[in-house]
Structures are given as C-alpha cells and as structure tokens.
C-alpha cells in the first residue's frame, strides 16, 4: 500500500540534476520515456532501442545504439560497453545533448561543445585507441551511404579516402607523399570541426511543459 516502486523524492532528483545538468522537469519527462522504452523494467537493453521505428530509418542506427551503451560516455574512466543500462546511465549519456540555458556561461558552453565532440569521436573510434583510422572512417561512410547498390563499394571507399586525405592535409601540412597518416586524433577532430556551429544544433530542445494548472480548480 502506498506504492513506492520507482518513486524518487525531490532530493534524489537533486543528485541527478547536479550530475547531468538537466532540470527536474526534464528528468521527470525522461524517466517516463525510459519506462516506455524499457517496458517498465529497471534497465534498457539494445533490443529495446532497436525496436523504435523512427530509429530504423537512421543509417547509423547501430553506431548510435553502441554509443549509448559505451562506457566511455559515462564520464568515468572505464572502457568497454554495457549490456544494459539503468536510468542514471541513460541520463548520463543523454546529458551530452542537454540544452544550454540562459545561465550557461561561455566556459560551460565550451565544455558542452567539447563533450559533444568527444561523444561523436567515440562513436567513430570503435577500438578506443584514441585515433580514428581509415578503416573506422570507411565503416561510417559506408553505413551512411547506401548498401543497397546505389553507390558501389568502390565509390564509397573513394569518398572515404578523399575525405581522409583532406583531413591529413589540413592537420599535417608538410606531409610527404610517402608518409603514412595514422588517423584522426581527438585534437585533429576538434581542429577540423572548429568552425562548425554546434551549440545551437546538437541538442534536444525540450518543449516547455511548464506550470499548466487545471481549469476551474483554484490552488491558492
């Protein structure tokens, strides 16, 4: 009686709020969403995310799901990947995409940006050696371009190679033609995307489901 399953008191939210930077309202909404995805269980597995129909359209669905279960995105020093994640870990991953508020300072925005870049870097760097090699990059390109035959594998490979070459020439300007370019490090990654305006794009914009009172009931 007086059921307490899944009930979180406001101060427990506080801990999550500090850790992830979401507001209490957003955490509440995300928790409802977590329950929907997990079927009211305590954890989400890859199958739960796999079955979202809108995600099926996405060509890099597998990479995104892997990123969610990637331990590197939990702001701790562990590596590897989870089989299932709980709500707190879900929030940690989603916090990479939290929206900036009016109170976010310039330093915080810089940090947010770096976080997002780190997340995306991790998505490409699957073997976690700190470098995106040509092979890893090619995999991503092939994923996005069609496997169904509209682009031949040769063309996809060519596109990946060309893009890689461009990265190399931007970052190591005096590279001799015989030098072997290891791969894109995180610094190079940041360098390439320096001009990219990410702050206003790569976050989730929560609708303001603010203080709507029910009509006719005065709660004064």
Partner 1 sequence: MEDFWAAALSVLKTWLYLIVGLIMIPAMFGFSLGISETYMNILVKTLEWATLKIQKANIKERFQASPSNSLIQREDGSMEKELEELRRTRPKPPVGGDFTLSDCFYFTHRGIESIVEDEVTQRFSSEELVSWNLLTRTNIDFQYISLRLTLVYGLGIFVRYCILAPLRITLATIGLTWLVIGTSAVGLLPNSWVKSWLSEWVHVMCYRICARGLSATIRYHNRENKPKKGGICVANHTSPIDIVILCNDGCYAMVGQIHGGLLGVIQRAMVRSCPHVWFERAEMKDRHLVTKRLMDHVNDKTKLPILIFPEGTCVNNTSVMMFKKGSFEIGATIYPVAIKYDPKFGDAFWNSSKYSMVNYLLRMMTSWALDCNVWYLPAMHQQDGEDAVQFANRVKSAIAHKGGLLDLQWDGGLKRAKVKETFKEQQQKKYSSMVVGDDSSGSSD
Q: Which is nearer to partner 1, 77 or 154 (CB)?
A: 154
Render the burial of 153-178: b for 16+ CB within 10 Å, e for the rest: eeebeebbeeebeebbeebeeeeeee
> Residue 34: CB partners within 8 Å, gap ≥ 6?
44, 87, 90
| Nearest alpha-carbon partner for 82 in 67, 92, 97 | 67
Least distance in angstroms from the C-beta of 168 to partner 1: 12
Least distance in angstroms from the C-beta of 128 to partner 1: 18
Least distance in angstroms from the C-beta of 35 to partner 1: 8
Determine contact, residues 67/93, Cβ cutoff 8 Å. yes
Least distance in angstroms from the C-beta of 54 to partner 1: 4
Q: Which is nearer to partner 1, 3 or 77 (CB)?
A: 3
Determine contact, residues 198/116, Cβ cutoff 8 Å. yes
Helix (H) or strand (E) holding 9: none
Q: Which is nearer to partner 1, 67 or 112 (CB)?
A: 67
Q: Which is nearer to partner 1, 77 or 205 (CB)?
A: 205
């Amino acid at each position: 009686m007086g059921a307490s399953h899944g009930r979180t008191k406001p101060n427990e939210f506080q801990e999550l709020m500090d850790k992830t930077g979401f507001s209490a309202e957003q955490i509440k909404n995300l928790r409802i969403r977590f329950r929907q995805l997990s079927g009211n269980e305590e954890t989400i597995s890859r199958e739960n995310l796999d079955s979202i129909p809108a995600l099926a359209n996405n060509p890099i669905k597998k990479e995104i799901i892997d990123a969610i279960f990637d331990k590197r995105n939990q702001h701790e020093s562990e590596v590897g990947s989870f089989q299932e994640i709980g709500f707190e870990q879900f929030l940690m991953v989603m916090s990479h995409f939290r929206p900036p508020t009016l109170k976010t300072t310039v330093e915080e925005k810089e940090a947010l940006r770096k976080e997002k870049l780190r997340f995306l870097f991790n998505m490409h760097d699957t073997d976690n050696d700190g470098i995106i090699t040509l092979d890893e990059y090619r995999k991503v390109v092939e994923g996005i371009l069609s496997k169904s035959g509209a682009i031949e594998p040769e063309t996809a490979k060519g596109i990946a190679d060309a893009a890689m070459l461009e990265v190399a020439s931007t970052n190591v300007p005096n590279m001799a033609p015989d030098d072997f370019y290891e791969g894109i490090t995180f610094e190079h990654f940041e360098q390439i995307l320096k001009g990219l305006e990410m702050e206003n794009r790569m976050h989730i914009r929560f609708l303001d489901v603010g203080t709507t009172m029910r009509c006719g009931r005065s709660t004064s």
